[in-house]
Homo-oligomer: A and B are copies of this chain.
Amino acid sequence: MMYGRYTQELGVYAKEEAARLRESGQRRSVSDRSRTLDLLEYDKGRCAKCRRSGYPYVLEAPAQDFISVCTVRCQKFLISRVGEDWIFLILLGLLMALVSWVVDFCIAICLQAQKWMYGGLDSNVFLQYLAWVTYPVVLITFSAGFTQILAPQAVGSGIPEMKTILRGVVLKEYLTFKTFVAKVIGLTCALGSGMPLGKEGPFVHIASLCAALLSKFMSLFGGIYENESRNIEMLAAACAVGVGCCFAAPIGGVLFSIEVTSTFFAVRNYWRGFFAATFSAFIFRVLAVWNRDEETITALFKTRFRLDFPFDLQELPAFAVIGIASGFGGALFVYLNRLIVQFMRKQKVINKFLMKKRLLYPALVTLVLSTLTFPPGFGQFMAGKLTQKEALVTLLDNRTWAKQGIAEEFDYIGNAQAWRHPQVNVFVTLVLFIVMKFWMSALAITIPVPSGAFMPVFVIGAAFGRLVGESMAAWFPDGINTDGTIYPIVPGGYAVVGAAALSGAVTHTVSTAVIVFELTGQISHILPVMIAVILANAVAQSLQPSLYDSIIRIKKLPYLPELGWGHHEKYNIRVEDIMVRDVRYITLNCCYRDLHNVLLTGQLKTLALVESAESMILLGSIERAQLQSLLSQQLGRARRLQYIRERAVEEKKRLSIVLDPASDDNGSQRTSQEVRFQISTEESSFSPTRPVPHKPLKPALKRPSVVERPTELPTSPHDHSGIALKNLFCSSPDTEALEDDGDVEDDMTIREIAEWEERQLDEQVNFNNCKIDPAPFQLVERTSLHKTHTIFSLLGLDHAYVTSIGRLIGVVSLKELRKAIEGSVTVKGVKVRPPLASFRDSGTSSSENETTELHKLWDRHKSMSLPRESTPSESEEKSQ
């Protein structure tokens, strides 16, 4: 399906250009450059001049015109450069760096304001509490309300949606200016509230929004920006920029975005990501330098661990333990998050109440969370007064907090003091922090505001690492090394390892290791970090899907699950085991009635076109919409009126035959042939580039009373089916057709119409003006599941036909593939399941429901509004 399609405009344009270029002959070097320019919108006014100056060697223009020609050429040259990738990437990087910096700046101001309020009111604890709690509640509520009103698509992380978009699905509403504004402002408010939320996921989305809008803007200057595959490539680069400018981590950004959003990555796009992310990270940090925050460009969370002996070999088991524990922790986090969402959905009473008062849920959650962190209250046991950033800085600190287990000796300065409590050990503080933050973060990211989960998880991981590190330091006060020199243990290193491991486990990525190096500016702990991250991934991936995949499932976005860590069964399952053998097809010589029946019974987006029912040779596939328009054309009022006109002409002729017997009866035959021919040329110019008008469905959908009818149809197909069909599929004929054919009167009775339609239905379908995908993807019945998965994800397929020497024998769609991969398919009586799938499945009880929904969701050509919490009726239906 994918390869039969092409970007319409560009194709036509290129053809025209090619024809023009051929004329202009050897004047190629110039025309090549000017080619992209001739559609410049801003040139519209001075079109005549440009057209001449585009071929400057034709210097029939007078000499004084020469200078103006030159300037126009220069201008054109400069503008043509706008089409270059690197200009786009630089602009994107610059823009995102500015956005990131401004957002950071605003967040910092918000947080300072809270601190200032809290500090100023220290005379009265109740007032302090009120200030501490009200501030975030207001901000979060505003954020939730604002995004809800402006663009509900801006809610959440955005990475799951980007993954879906890069998979080839068009979610147009997700890349609009409205969404951009909602996301940026909503995110700033949400993070300014001090809730455990992250900015990294939303930044991936914001960067993609930026890229999409920039593309749209730049397309005013050059045609290349209208190319679809180029835009997808640019979106992939934008994702890298998003992470890159968020953490000032260009390499980690590129890798993380690849891991999180792509299944197959084109290495030729690599440099785009690196280029844009580096530039963005550079500008982001330069802004900090110019703002006198920093002396020069350094890492965001700089650490100062010793370089010559970062860790002992014998500490490696401790790092491995961190990795494995983080793996379990990460899986638990994803599970917990999904559990909360599903709990909220299932509780009908709560659900209904919350749906009515949409801002109540965010406000309630914020209230609970900020109450718990209130520093004079429970917050004192979990460093509640520290912001996320401050907490991370203290956790990555160079010094050891618990020297020989005696917390008192610890030299607390600045923010690190928050971790000390007069009564309680620093270990207890850390444990409480980890436990509380864990569920608080899992809860917080369910609030419908723009927010990510990376940073909270990162901080929890750092705290866990710190805990292990401090324990190790307490256990081995003089270090482990036995060679004489004392190298004390560095708990900060453990924190780094823990942060990378837990965030890696939650997101199922390895590149968090690189992000950690770039964030801390030190790479000395590379081996422990890598070991921990890999172990965490191994554990987490075998227990739960990644957080983003989990959200994809929750939001019921169309997706294809990954093949797991070496499930061998995949190599032994064949397409023939999973394919649907009962394929719905139409034949080349079918009549409209067959079309009608096929359309009524099936729900598939595309239908196979075979040569004949006997040969079953696959010729191509046709979209449902195409068939509907074919049918509507055949039964449309326009055609019927023509028929009436024709009949009138015939009757006239018959009269004239009576008057003039010389004219033989060939006349009427010729007329009907002519008319037939006229129709086919009128509606199809025989060029496949012209889009067939898509009007049909819209007006029908506007009138719900008409839409109801087709369900009655199969019971009485011979009654008014034609009329009903017409009403279903046609562009409301009563209003449109009458304008053109005012000369003819529709004097047919309903009975006549029905008869006429019956006759029409028996005619053979004329596929001439139908857009057929002539090369749908084909598989062989013995292709392995592994290969099928590869092909589907490589090419972003929705379905593939299974053929045997040209004969269509089956079809495989994403649905079957998903079932097969998730292990619920039975291969010849044997149930194939990945070993740990049982645990995973328990969380996704609605999987059967989802898969049937897939084809409805999977719509490349129209913008799609996703089922979300915001549409109560729909989400309720699905959760049951």
Contact = CB atoms under 8 A, between A and B. Distances in A.
Given A4-B780, A313-B297, A264 B267 contact: yes
Contacts of A83: 568
A687 to B, nearest CB: 11
A159 to B, nearest CB: 14
B282 A309 contact: no
Interface in A553-580: 562-563, 565-566, 568-569, 571-572, 574
A274 B806 contact: no
Nearest to A537: B271
B775 A779 contact: yes
| Interface size grouping (class) on chain A | 35 or more
A268 B278 contact: no
A271 to B, nearest CB: 6
Contacts of A563: 268
A415 interface: no
B307 A534 contact: no
A108 interface: no
Contacts of A483: 295
A587 to B, nearest CB: 12
A649 to B, nearest CB: 35
A278 B831 contact: no
Interface stretch (A15-23, A336-344, A860-868): A15-23
Interface string A16-60: 011001100100100010001000000000000000000000000
A791 B4 CA distance: 13
A658 interface: no
B618 A510 contact: no
A598 interface: no
Contact of A313 (B286, B534, B537, B804): B286
A676 interface: no
B830 A803 contact: no
A772 interface: yes
Interface centre among A270, A289, A775 (most CB of B within 10 A): A775
Copies of this protein, total: 2
A318 to B, nearest CB: 14
Contacts of A267: 258-259, 262-265
A762 to B, nearest CB: 24
A319 to B, nearest CB: 11
Interface stretch (A454-462, A489-497, A519-527, A659-667): A519-527
A311 B282 CA distance: 13
Interface string A269-284: 0110011001001100
A568 B83 CA distance: 8
A743 interface: no
Contacts of A289: 313
A871 B513 CA distance: 48
Interface centre among A32, A312, A618, A780 (most CB of B within 10 A): A780
Contact of A84 (B566, B609, B782, B806): B566
A296 interface: yes
A843 B251 CA distance: 34
A845 B313 CA distance: 55
Nearest to A224: B568
A80 to B, nearest CB: 9
Given A11-B574, A86-B538, A298-B308, 8 more contacts: A6-B784, A11-B782, A18-B830, A85-B565, A227-B571, A259-B270, A296-B309, A517-B523
8 contacts: A18-B830, A229-B571, A268-B562, A278-B527, A295-B481, A299-B524, A773-B780, A774-B803
Give 10 nearest A-B pairs by CB, closest first: A619-B806, A85-B566, A775-B778, A14-B572, A278-B530, A774-B805, A523-B523, A274-B510, A265-B265, A794-B794
